[in-house]
Chains A and B, each alone.
Chain A
Amino acid sequence: KAGVTQTPRYLIKTRGQQVTLSCSPISGHRSVSWYQQTPGQGLQFLFEYFSETQRNKGNFPGRFSGRQFSNSRSEMNVSTLELGDSALYLCASSLARDRGNGYTFGSGTRLTVV
C-alpha cells in the first residue's frame, strides 16, 4: 500500500511569505502528526490531528497552524516566514488506536527561507 506522501519535496520561500505543506497519510490512518527537524533543535513535535480536530500541540508560535480534512489528509501552514523556519518538516500517520505500534513517516518537505 502507498506510504505517507508529502508534497512538495522542496520549497524555497522568502522571509515574510507564507507556506502550505501537504500530507496524505496511509489509507486507513486517521491520525496525522507533524514534526520539525533542524540541525540545532533536532526533531520537535508540532501538532497532531485526528478526525479533523487538533488533539495535541507542541510549543510553537501561532504562526504555525494546521488542519485535517475529512479524508484524513492534512496541511500545515506557516505564516510570516522567518529564516529560522528553514527545516525539514516531517509528517507521520498512524492508526489512532494503535500509536504504540509506531508512526509511519513521510520523506518530508525541505523548506528553505531566504
Chain B
Amino acid sequence: AQTVTQSQPEMSVQEAETVTLSCTYDTSESNYYLFWYKQPPSRQMILVIRQEAYKQQNATENRFSVNFQKAAKSFSLKISDSQLGDTAMYFCAFMKHMSNFGNEKLTFGTGTRLTIIP
C-alpha cells in the first residue's frame, strides 16, 4: 500500500514571498503519478500541478513548480510570488499507473494549511 506524508500541518508566508511545501511518499511501484491539489474554503479540490514518475524533468505551472526526487520519494511544491488567493489547504496525492482499470485511486496526504499574510 502507498502512503503519503505531509509533515507541515500549517505554514504562513508574507505575500509575494516564496514558500515550499513538503511531501514524501512510500511505494514499491515504479510507474505512478503525483499531484498537488489545493482546497480553498469553497471546498472544491483544485488540481495545481502533476508529475509523471517516469519523467525526470520537474513540472512547472506558472508560479507553481515541483522538486521531484524519485530516489528519495520526495515531491515538494514551490509557490513563487505568493498571492492572497493561494491561501488554502494543499494536499499531496499519489496514484499508481495502470494501463487498464485496476486498483487506481488517489492516496492523499494529511494536508498543509497555507496562509498568505498581506
The 0/1 profile, CB within 8 Å of B marked 1, for residues 83-110 of chain A is 0000010101000100111111111101
Contact residues in A for B111 (Cβ distance below 8 Å): 42
Smallest CB gap from B111: residue in A: A42
How many chain A residues touch B (CB < 8 A): the figure is: 26
Contact residues in A for B91 (Cβ distance below 8 Å): 43
The 0/1 profile, CB within 8 Å of B marked 1, for residues 50-90 of chain A is 10000110100000000000000000000000000000101
Smallest CB gap from B32: residue in A: A100
Contact residues in A for B109 (Cβ distance below 8 Å): 42
Interchain CA distance A107-B47 in the complex, whole Å: 13
Smallest CB gap from A47: residue in B: B105
| In the complex, chain B residues 22-45 whose Cβ is within 8 Å of any chain A Cβ | 33, 35, 37, 42-45
Quick check: A45 and B105 within 8 Å, CB to CB? yes
Interchain CA distance A22-B108 in the complex, whole Å: 23
Q: Number of contact residues on B: which range applies?
A: 20 to 34
Classify the interface of chain B: helix, strand, loop or mixed: loop
B56 within 8 A of A: no
Quick check: B105 and A58 within 8 Å, CB to CB? yes
The 0/1 profile, CB within 8 Å of B marked 1, for residues 16-59 of chain A is 00000000000000000101000000110100101000011010
Smallest CB gap from A109: residue in B: B43
Given A55-B101, A100-B52, A42 contacting B108 (CB threshold 8 A):
yes
Quick check: B105 and A107 within 8 Å, CB to CB? no
Looking at A88, A96, A105, A108, the one whose CB has the most chain B CB atoms below 10 A away is A105
Contact residues in B for A43 (Cβ distance below 8 Å): 91, 106, 108
Q: Which B residues have a C-beta under 8 Å from some C-beta of A? A: 33, 35, 37, 42-47, 50, 52, 91, 95, 97, 101-111
List 16 interface pairs A-B (beta carbons < 8 Å), by A numbering: A33-B105, A42-B109, A43-B91, A43-B106, A48-B104, A56-B101, A92-B106, A100-B52, A102-B47, A103-B106, A105-B44, A105-B45, A105-B46, A106-B44, A108-B43, A110-B43
